[in-house]
Amino acid sequence: MKETELKALVSLLDDDDKEVITQVQEKILSIGTAIIPILEQEWENNFNPTVQQRIEDIIHSLQYELLKERIVSWYTSEDKDLLTGMWIVATYQYPEIELEKLKQDIEAIYQEAWLEYRGDLLPYDQVKVMNSVLFGKLKFGANSKNFHSPGNSMINVVLETHKGNPITLCVIYMLVAQKLKMPVKGVNLPNLFILSYKDSQTNFYINAFNRGLIFTRQDIENYIHEIHLVPQKSFFEPCSNVEIIQRVLRNLIMSFEKMGEHEKAEELKLLLIEISDGGDLGV
């Protein structure tokens, strides 16, 4: 379909006939994301609030379908790259964000840490360097004042504001640490996401939400006892990238539900189902 024909099709969105509108919307959706630039242009040139809302709804539907395709493709890929997964989730709110920009931001943090890092450092000293750079020099930290903001689960927002929730701060910490060849991985604790540092001789844990505080397995056992849960292996061992993205989605679902944005919460629940194998999808 030529651009002139596409524009003519979009112009029909100001029709008052509901049946016509439905047919036009279905036709536009069938074309796919290629029509988004024309829709955006029409939105800017049209001053009818009803038409603008129709255009916004169509754009969102197209972007959501693209997001669903991306996350399924990621889930079925072999490597399941963590930064790519975080980028896909962030495009739900920020569809224009580019993966390359996130890679550059992580690389910049890595370069800051690399300048102070030496391969012969002992494990605790390696963590001290990471903590000094991330939480001291770059001022990353907990967004405790607005803990349930959806932005806390969007890696692009956290990279920009340097404020986030436990899991997003841990993801950034882990991505940089792994580039430094540190054996750091995520751990799914109830109500708190943490990091594990584990090699052949050393095993301890890191709380990125508390400026990289180091603690032990006994500390986790005490924590589990305090919140009256039965200890499970998953509370102490590294989790997969899929489990991390699942938890990020659950956090977002909870955030949107608290804000009363139930439609967004339901859309994210559908995404969560796409990357789950029938397990517990509760938030």
Number of structural domains, the chain?
Answer: 2
Average pLDDT over residues 197-225: 96
Q: Please tell me the distance from the alpha carbon of residue 82 to that of residue 86, in angstroms, as a whole number.
A: 6
Domain finish residue from 76, 98, 114: 76
Higher-scoring residue by pLDDT: 153, 278: 153
Whether residues 27 and 100 share a domain: the answer is no
Residue 17 is assigned to a structural domain of this protein: yes
Whether residues 246 and 203 share a domain: the answer is yes
Residue 281 is assigned to a structural domain of this protein: no
Q: Please tell me the distance from the alpha carbon of residue 173 to that of residue 232, in angstroms, as a whole number.
A: 25
Which band of pLDDT confidence, cut at 50, 70 and 90, is reported for residue 267? very high
How many helices (H) and strands (E) the chain has is answered by 12, 6
Whether residues 168 and 233 share a domain: the answer is yes
Q: Please tell me the distance from the alpha carbon of residue 181 to that of residue 174, in angstroms, as a whole number.
A: 10
Whether residues 116 and 250 share a domain: the answer is yes
Contact status, residue 153 vs residue 167, Cβ threshold 8 Å: yes
Domain finish residue from 41, 76, 111: 76
Residue 44 is assigned to a structural domain of this protein: yes
| Beta carbons within 10 angstroms of residue 146's beta carbon | 10
Whether residues 109 and 249 share a domain: the answer is yes
175 closest CA partner among 86, 55, 47, 61 = 86
Residue 86 is assigned to a structural domain of this protein: yes
* Mean pLDDT over the full length of the chain: 93
Give me the domain span that covers residue 96. Answer: 82-274
Residue 158 is assigned to a structural domain of this protein: yes
171 closest CA partner among 160, 181, 180, 159 = 159
pLDDT digit string (tens) for 85-129?
Answer: 999 999 999 999 999 999 999 999 999 999 999 888 999 999 999
Q: Evaluate if pTM is beyond 0.85.
A: yes
Residue 165 is assigned to a structural domain of this protein: yes
Q: For residue 146, how far is the Cα from the chain centroid? A: 17
Domain finish residue from 76, 93, 113: 76
Whether residues 34 and 142 share a domain: the answer is no
183 closest CA partner among 115, 136, 127, 112 = 127
Whether residues 155 and 243 share a domain: the answer is yes
Whether residues 174 and 54 share a domain: the answer is no
Q: For residue 90, how far is the Cα from the chain centroid? A: 5
Whether residues 269 and 151 share a domain: the answer is yes
Residue 167 is assigned to a structural domain of this protein: yes
pLDDT surpassing 80 at residue 283: no
Contact status, residue 180 vs residue 110, Cβ threshold 8 Å: yes
Which band of pLDDT confidence, cut at 50, 70 and 90, is reported for residue 32? confident
